[in-house]
Structure 1
């Protein structure tokens, strides 16, 4: 199971690297072209914008898994150890419900936009708006993979590996 998790995390990370690289190359090439020839690619800004949307939604799960999202721990800090676990379990359940709802809403919205096309690239907006359900599905998978150590000890997965559970972030440890 850990090998599958490592593969999943690696593939998610490589997808982000490829999208960011493509975005940097497109923007860099367009800037060079604009200054060297006084012309630019009509689709470059649009492609970079859509890659940024995909990067944001696709990367949220990896950030969640290492505890990189904003967290307010005041309530958790005043609760006893059992209260910590119950609160974190409730947070996981609420997040799973919310992420599932957003997959549903995102998919509906993407389907509604499938017949409209982007101005420059002429791609169906379905491909742009699909970032939302795909990203929230990735959030669900990442959350399920870290839920147990998070609920029991307030730990997150260390950046770069899915194998160890010994990275505790400030405010999330109970000892």
Structure 2
């Protein structure tokens, strides 16, 4: 989306809200992950003791940071497109190929969201080994990030189908 025309009005407000949520969660989880890692190092080398819970918190926050970061990249248009082959096609077949890619991306995101929610019901009664939190809290990052990516992708339909790019870009 970086090379495409940015939407305005309601779509821009939705995108801004999504970016705020995604960036805030990703940044917070990154801070938690780094903090737990530093705390573990200090505990081991300064106090000669280990903290068992820091590994688990760092791992869980890494999962959330990675998936929210991925959603943020999709929302802000930072994902790379490899379209060298598509650029060689004339406009009508190019739009067909772009439509097929777009539908495939949407289908994958819908599957991740739907099966991610189903996964939450399967693992809800499972507890993490040290903190004893429901594993559904950790796995919730998958359907949530897939849903956020789905919304962002739907907002970019013109760009994905080759209608919204400025002259000379990927269309």
Same fold (TM over 0.5): yes
Does residue 173 in structure 1 map to residue 143 in structure 2?
no
Mapping for residues 1-175 of structure 1, pairs under 5 Å: 1=10, 2-69=12-79, 71-153=81-163, 173-174=170-171
Output the CA distance in 2 between the equivalents of 1:52 and 1:110. Answer: 18
RCO higher in structure (CA 8 A, sep ≥6): 2
- Partner of 1:39, secondary structure, is coil
Change (3 A) 1:77 1:154: farther
Conserved? CA contact 2:71–2:149, under 8 Å: yes
Change (3 A) 1:154 1:26: farther
Output the CA distance in 1 between the equivalents of 2:140 and 2:21. Answer: 18
Output the CA distance in 2 between the equivalents of 1:48 and 1:109. Answer: 22
Conserved? CA contact 2:112–2:142, under 8 Å: yes
TM-score, reference length from structure 1: 0.81
Change (3 A) 1:153 1:136: same
Alignment length (residue pairs) = 160
Conserved? CA contact 1:116–1:125, under 8 Å: yes
Conserved? CA contact 1:154–1:173, under 8 Å: no
Offset at 1:40? 2.2
